[in-house]
Chains A and B, each alone.
Chain A
Amino acid sequence: MSNILELENINYVYGVGTPFEKRAVDNVSVSIKKGEFVGIMGHTGSGKSTLVQMLNGLIKPTSGRVLFDGADIWENPKEIRKIRFKVGMVFQYPEYQLFEETVYKDIAFGAINMGKSSDELDRAVRKAAEFSGLKPELLTKSPFDLSGGEKRRAAIAGVIAMDPDVLVLDEPTAGLDPMGRDVLLSQIVQYHNKRKNTVLLVSHSMEDIARVADRIIVMNKSRLVMYDETKKIFSRGSELEKIGLRVPQITKIMLTLKERGYDISDGILTVDDALAEISSLLKKEGKIW
């Protein structure tokens, strides 16, 4: 499959020439295939947030090129706004950006900025609300009357309504409880499966990324240190721990057993995989039937 996004030797330096000068992104090159679900992990300050803001031209790289569908997005800086409709970006705590009188109007904001006709607009808004699991009767309410979880969905719907080819989500589950987190994550996966678009998910939660991502980008100290398939990334548990990232507990358990000489395959990500693995071991030894 072809690449939808390509980054070529991207650098970003904050506050050039001031005492606060700081290199936030250091020579990153990466290509993202169309239709993939990519997880991005790294510490706060590892440069991942800066990196994703360069994908839709909110931040202009100090040097290097960002290609969308093969074309440099900064070719014509006046047209940069158009790229934001193709690469939709949901920020951390997106509910704090809601401002319209009704949820419907708020979801429509991006689509209106795109210049969608009213027919298209109505369809886009309703579909986006459905995708993000927002009940239709909430559309006429004020966004400020929604619950925390609903507000977050409304904000995500606002980006989905622009029907972007790439959807970037920065910590979409931050601050949600386990139930809210599970539901939202499944909703995103469902949307990805139906719409067949590319999704980039930035998250601190290894469990979340392990559950949904095809491939993972690992950032550390402004550099891209790993980019591989999910299983392969998590089989490098000790390397991840060295840069201070925690692997899911179950992965850790299985990796430790493997290190101690048990015959266990790499990159176990879920409890059910682990269960299958352990019970096949036990069966081999005749401890269970």
Chain B
Amino acid sequence: MEFICVDNISFSYDDRDLEKPTKNAVSDFSLSIKKGEFVSLLGHNGCGKSTVAKHLNAMLLPDSGKVYVDGDDTSDEDKTYDIRKKVGLVLQNPDNQLVASIVEEDVAFGPENLGIEPDEIRKRVDEALKTVDMYEYRDHAPYKLSGGQKQRVAIAGILAMQPECIVLDEPTAMLDPNGRSEVMSTLIKLNKEKNMTVVLITHYMEEAVLSDRVVVMDDGRVLTQGTPEEVFSQVELLKKHRLDVPQATELAYKLRGCGIKFEKMPLTADECVAMLEEVLR
């Protein structure tokens, strides 16, 4: 079932807007996201992927084209808050999206805005914090947490609104490798166990590899899309646009050039080792 439908949108920033990229908006961009899917949007800074993210929860409205969330048009002002409740957006800098001085109070912020009963908020906050494995930090001050922990609190803050889809705009760009893997395993858990629809915007191909579907963006358009295997097999196309390819895939690709045949392109180290062993045996 189609949950989000982005239908041929174009968007350009007003020159006067605080955010600068005027040229780097999206043009004729279409995308559809099914319920329960884990989609990665991969591309360089300024390729328009963050602009797309902000269209998914009505933070931005397209200049032309339409975005539908669960059948509702995002440009319908009466639906704005319904849409934001259904599609939660997590931003890049974890420091700048936490509003309260105590972890659990921050997580409560969303449901409080929705006017939910106090007891119910308490339940949701506890559940959300447990889901992201931050329950024992509930009465800590956010500024004392590590980057990965802060970002997980931010995710909990969205989860407490009980959205159907969570969109993350480069959530790991400012984190160290540990923080990145914490956030990634949280997302995978959400997707697999809670069947949450996840849209991950990233420029790390290691992260995109973990999703069901990768959409590669360049210059405001879709460059290519498909399963991680389909996308990363196109080594030349990705290299041409100076995007990373997993080293495992690159090695297999180059070996293929030497006349070695593989059935399937490896994405991870383990897959690559297995494949090489088969060839070398």
Contact = CB atoms under 8 A, between A and B. Distances in A.
Interface of A: 43-44, 145, 147-149, 174-180, 182, 204, 244, 246, 248-250, 252-253, 256-257, 260, 262, 271-272, 274-275, 278-279, 281-282, 285, 287-288
Contacts of B76: none
B280 interface: yes
A281 B260 CA distance: 13
B16 interface: no
B272 A174 contact: no
Contact of A177 (B45, B259, B276): B45
Given A44-B178, A285-B280, A249 B44 contact: no
Interface residues of B, number: 35
Given A176-B45, A253-B276, A282-B279, A275 B247 contact: no
Given A244-B178, A282-B260, A178 B243 contact: yes
Nearest to B46: A147
A249 B273 contact: no
Contacts of A287: 260, 279
Interface string B167-197: 0000001101111000000000000000000
B171 to A, nearest CB: 12
Contact of A179 (B242, B269, B280): B242
A250 B273 contact: no
29 contacts: A44-B176, A44-B179, A145-B20, A149-B45, A175-B173, A176-B45, A178-B44, A178-B244, A179-B243, A204-B176, A249-B248, A249-B268, A249-B269, A250-B251, A253-B247, A253-B251, A256-B273, A260-B273, A274-B247, A274-B251, A275-B251, A275-B255, A278-B251, A278-B276, A279-B258, A281-B280, A282-B258, A282-B279, A282-B280
Which DSSP category, helix, strand, loop or mixed, fits chain A's interface?
helix
B115 to A, nearest CB: 37
Contacts of B20: 145, 147
A253 B276 CA distance: 9
A253 B273 contact: yes
B254 A271 contact: yes
A179 B173 contact: no
Nearest to B177: A204
A287 B146 CA distance: 50
Given A44-B178, A271-B250, A278-B255, A252 B269 contact: yes
Contacts of A178: 44, 203, 205, 242-244
Contact of A260 (B147, B242, B258, B277): B277
Interface string B15-45: 0000010000000000000000000000011
B45 A43 contact: no
6 closest A-B pairs by CB:
A250-B247, A177-B203, A179-B242, A249-B247, A178-B244, A44-B176
B178 to A, nearest CB: 7
B65 interface: no
B276 to A, nearest CB: 6
A268 B178 CA distance: 24
Contacts of B280: 257, 262, 278, 281-282, 285
Given A178-B203, A271-B250, A275-B254, 18 more contacts: A147-B46, A175-B173, A177-B45, A178-B205, A178-B242, A178-B243, A178-B244, A180-B44, A204-B177, A253-B248, A253-B273, A256-B269, A275-B258, A278-B251, A279-B255, A279-B258, A281-B280, A288-B259
